[in-house]
Amino acid sequence: MSVFDIIGPIMIGPSSSHTAGAVKLGNLARNVIGHTPDHAEILLHGSFARTYKGHGTDLALVAGLLGMRPDDERIPQAFHIAAGSGMQFDIVEGDLGNVHPNSARFSLSWQNTSAIVEGSSVGGGAVVLTAVDGFSLEYSGNSHALLVFHLDRPGSVAAVTGVLAASMLNIGAMRVSRREKGSEALMLIEVDQEIPSSVVAKVSSLEYVRRVIYFAPLEDDN
């Protein structure tokens, strides 16, 4: 058992799952859109929907979208700060189906970019990103990772992994999915080292690649 298991994360309370984890989910969703969104609709599911006002989950999710960390003393003022930054948001309750009870879906827009991001806070401040734009995935935010949207074509996976290999980046885990044969597809590639911006640019320039999102570990992302 680690010290983290005993005392939990460093955070603004009251709940590691409903507050600290919610901030991290907001951080991950912000990473997908690449900026503080102009508008966000945040759908709360299950326990999140039932208890969010008492636990400050709504404040925490908005704080994460603003780029705050779980220990940021400004979290209680997140709504006010969002208004000052020009971010509009709506908090709604809904049913995401057979998912973890502490789950949320973010519908985000920034300029001409939009994204739909789903994730769950699974306890002790730990989170899992479970879907992006309809693609299922499982990313904890604990590793360096690339999310690569591409066309499902022969050689597309090999081209991406070849760039990583040539850059001496070791793949620790990889998951691929597609909507249907020959259509849009997604790679989630977790690696052991920080990914230089030049490598992200090389992957982005590959023939069948449509978009690349780089995730740094949440604990290292300032």
CATH code of residue 189:
3.30.70.260
Model confidence band, residue 4 (pLDDT cutoffs 50, 70, 90): very low
For residue 138, is it within any domain?
no
For residue 55, the model assigns a pLDDT of 81
Claim to verify: residue 109 and residue 155 sit in the same structural domain: no
Claim to verify: residue 100 and residue 156 sit in the same structural domain: no
For residue 16, is it within any domain?
yes
**pLDDT for 108-119, tens place per residue?**
999 999 999 999
Last residue of a domain, one of 110, 133, 156: 133
Claim to verify: residue 7 and residue 114 sit in the same structural domain: yes
Claim to verify: residue 9 and residue 115 sit in the same structural domain: yes
Nearest-5° Cα angle at 88, 136 to 113: 45
For residue 54, the model assigns a pLDDT of 83
For residue 175, is it within any domain?
yes
170: pLDDT strictly greater than 60:
yes
For residue 101, the model assigns a pLDDT of 93
Last residue of a domain, one of 70, 98, 133: 133
15: pLDDT strictly greater than 70:
no
For residue 169, is it within any domain?
yes
107: pLDDT strictly greater than 90:
yes
For residue 98, is it within any domain?
yes
For residue 8, the model assigns a pLDDT of 47
Claim to verify: residue 70 and residue 124 sit in the same structural domain: yes
Range of the domain at 202: 144-215
Rounded mean pLDDT, 49-54: 88
- Total domain count for the chain? 2
For residue 47, is it within any domain?
yes
Claim to verify: residue 65 and residue 107 sit in the same structural domain: yes
Last residue of a domain, one of 133, 152, 186: 133
For residue 222, is it within any domain?
no
Q: How far is CA 65 from the centre of its chain?
A: 10
Pairing of strands 144-151, 126-132: unpaired
Q: How far apart are CA 188 and CA 179, in angstroms?
A: 15
Average pLDDT in the chain? 91
Q: Which helix (H) or strand (E) holds 52?
A: helix 46-55
Model confidence band, residue 17 (pLDDT cutoffs 50, 70, 90): low
Claim to verify: residue 86 and residue 129 sit in the same structural domain: yes
Local structure of residue 71 (DSSP, 8 states): T
Claim to verify: residue 125 and residue 53 sit in the same structural domain: yes
Claim to verify: residue 14 and residue 73 sit in the same structural domain: yes
For residue 65, give the CATH number of its domain. Answer: 3.30.1330.90
Share of the chain above pLDDT 70, in %: 91
Rounded mean pLDDT, 9-34: 78
Pairing of strands 88-94, 144-151: unpaired
For residue 95, is it within any domain?
yes
197: pLDDT strictly greater than 70:
yes
For residue 125, the model assigns a pLDDT of 87
Residue 113 contacts residue 34 (beta carbons within 8 Å): yes
Claim to verify: residue 115 and residue 148 sit in the same structural domain: no
Claim to verify: residue 34 and residue 123 sit in the same structural domain: yes
Rounded mean pLDDT, 126-155: 96
pTM, whole model, 2 decimals? 0.88
Claim to verify: residue 181 and residue 203 sit in the same structural domain: yes
